[in-house]
Structure 1
Amino acid sequence: MKKLYRSRTDRWIAGVCGGIGEYLEIDPNIIRVIWAIVTAITGFLPGIAVYILLWIILPERGTAHPVEAPAGA
């Protein structure tokens, strides 16, 4: 099953657009251009806020660790 991660190799700021491009199997530069256009059209704040949220929420590829069950469960 495919999972969405931030890219570690194709990144300009945090790897969000690079990770989305890898997930969708398209050039991340297309994602960056679309993101920039949508951000400009919506008044910048929504696009920047969503980018920051994705930066916080999406794990970086190779850094996600499985959650362990508590002892005695």
Structure 2
Amino acid sequence: MKKLTRSTTDRWVAGICGGIGEYFEIDPNVIRVIWVILSVLTTFFPGVIIYILLWIILPESGEARPVEAPFEA
């Protein structure tokens, strides 16, 4: 199952657009252009805030994630 993660190989700042491009299997540069256009049309503020939130929320690809232990009665 595919997981949305930040890219560690195709990144300019945090790897958000690279990770989205890898997830949807499209060129990350297309994602970057769309992101910039939408940010400019919304006066930058929402685009920057969403980018920062995704930077905080999304793990990097290959990063260890906590695994829940199975419940034992």
TM above 0.5: yes
Matched, 1:32 2:32: yes
Partner of 1:12: 12
Query: Alignment length, in residue pairs?
Result: 72
Cα deviation, residue 67, structure 1: 3.0
SS of the counterpart of 1:18? helix
Flag structure 2 segments of 5+ consecutive residues without an equivalent: none
Cα deviation, residue 68, structure 1: 4.0
CA RMSD of aligned residues (A): 1.6
Scaled by the length of structure 2, what TM-score is found? 0.90
Flag structure 1 segments of 5+ consecutive residues without an equivalent: none
Scaled by the length of structure 1, what TM-score is found? 0.90
